[in-house]
Amino acid sequence: MSQPRIGLLGLGAYAPARVMTNDEWAQYVDTTDAWITERTGIKRRHVAAPDETTVDLAAHAARGALSDAGLSAAEVDELIVTSDTPEVYTPDTASFLQVRLGLREVPAYDLAGSGCAGFLLGLDLARSRVRDDPARRILVVGVELITRLIDWSDRNVCVLFGDAAGAAVVGRGPRAAEILAATAGTDGSKSDILKLEVGGTRSPVTAERVAQRLHQRLEMNGREVFKEAVARMSAATRDVLQKAGFPVAALALLVPHQANLRILEAVRAELGLPEDRVVINLQEYGNTGSASVPLALWEARQQGRIRSGDLVALASFGAGFHWAAMLVRF
């Protein structure tokens, strides 16, 4: 007898209560709502409260995913957290989240440094783990509290981001949203187009660098990131469709990483998809890093945009330069 399919058993998401509009950024940098909207498509983003941390955001999304899957914390066999904004430098955020959720002494670890591509990499890793152990149920959480770790005086970067978390439970089940195919890649030669240099062994944190806010200086070559993001997400989406034996026209929805409206429009045009088949919610959340794809997927399902039998492609890119895509049948 064949095993039930491997897929998503439940989804969850969380965004902090505080909503920050574009107009509010004028208090911190020389900008306007029109300037931000024209260049990014972002109108609002959620910002964590002073007493909220990365684990707080992650726990909300994780509990939502477990509830959606009809599972208790005791039934989780593994925890993967994808984040570039950890609770502390060490140990990893997963250690704290394991305790917060009341999980057993299961494997719990972070995937960090891959930026906004992290969540899909985590899902693919979880799928491989379930393939080896059919009874395994793995909780994957993508979370970023990036507004606390960036320079609020850098108008080219600070207005882009928001805080959020998204989660999924991966396992086998007759009602699972089946993962049909996945792909990922890295071009390390382009690691300099999106980076935060200070904080590692090459450029340790010093008083002088902190005074210059270099520990919060996220550097981005916008033109190169745009070019790579469009090319890699488009190609990765085609790749997973080809692996599963479907044409682009078979897609019910594309859920791409929400970084910039221009990138999303270019990917849509490259794939020849109509507007109603691409999920776009960055106007409300901004770029939420590794939380971006699960948050958009969760919201699309909440809005009734995903029906039984639908083919949904997930695509993302991030610093590294990393990219990933996945095809899911609900």
Co-location of 236 and 317 in the same domain? yes
- Domain end among 107, 141, 176: 176
Q: Are 97 and 141 in contact (CB under 8 A)?
A: yes
Distance CA 125, CA 80 (A): 9
In a domain, 259, yes or no: yes
- Show which of 176, 210, 242 is a domain's final residue: 176
Pair 225, 160 in one domain? no
Residue 33 in any domain: the answer is yes
**What pLDDT is recorded for position 123?**
98
Give yes or no: residues 312 and 213 share one domain: yes
Q: Count CA within 13 A, CB hemisphere, residue 136.
A: 20
CB 194 within 8 A of CB 162: no
Q: What is the DSSP string of 263-306?
A: HHHHHHHHHT--GGGB---HHHH-B-GGGHHHHHHHHHHHTT--
The residues facing 18 across adjacent strands are 47
Number of domains comprising the chain: 2
Domain boundary among 128, 151, 176: 176
Cis peptide before 119 (omega within 30 of 0): no
- What is the C-alpha separation between 280 and 284, in angstroms, rounded? 9
Do 137 and 206 share a domain, yes or no? no
Alpha helices in 6-76 (DSSP H): 33-40, 54-69
272, part of any domain? yes
Give me the pLDDT at residue 2, please: 64
Rounded CA-CA distance 173/200 in Å is 42
Q: Is 116 a catalytic residue?
A: yes
| Predicted confidence (pLDDT) per residue in 48-66, tens digit | 999 999 999 999 999 999 9
286 & 144 share domain:
no
Structural contact between residues 296 and 89, judged by C-beta atoms closer than 8 angstroms: no
Choose the catalytic residue: 46, 60, 257, 322. 257
- Contact status, residue 81 vs residue 110, Cβ threshold 8 Å: yes
User: Considering only CA atoms, which of 279, 64, 269, 278 is closest in space to residue 169?
Assistant: 64
Indicate the pTM of the whole model.
0.96
Is 60 a catalytic site residue?
A: no
Provide the residue range defining the domain that includes 125. 6-176
Q: Is residue 233 part of a domain?
A: yes
Residue 149 vs residues 135, 162, 285, 296, 323: alpha-carbon distances, Å? 38, 11, 17, 23, 23
Q: In order along the chain (330 residues), what is the average pLDDT of each group of 10 residues?
A: 85 98 92 94 97 98 98 98 95 97 98 88 97 96 95 88 98 95 95 82 87 80 89 98 98 97 97 97 97 98 97 94 96
Which of 116, 158, 215, 260 is the catalytic position? 116
Q: Does one domain contain both 218 and 278?
A: yes
* Domain identity same for 172 and 184: no
Whether 223 and 158 map to the same domain: the answer is no
Q: Residue 219 has what pLDDT?
A: 78
Provide the token pair at 219. Answer: 């550097």
pLDDT of res. 222: 76
Do both 151 and 17 map to the same domain? yes
Together in a domain, 171 and 184: no
Give the domain CATH number at 207: 3.40.47.10
- Residues 250, 105 within the same domain: no
Q: Which amino acid is at 24?
A: E
Alpha-carbon distances, residue 49 vs 17, 155, 162, 295 (angstroms): 8, 21, 12, 19
Domain assignment present for 12: yes
Q: Within this chain, do residues 211 and 141 fall inside the same structural domain, yes or no? A: no
Q: Is residue 1 part of a domain?
A: no
Specify the pLDDT at position 90.
92
Cβ-Cβ contacts under 8 Å for 217 (sequence gap 6 or more): 151, 154, 196, 197, 198
Q: What is the pLDDT of residue 155?
A: 84
Reply yes or no on whether 257 is catalytic. Answer: yes
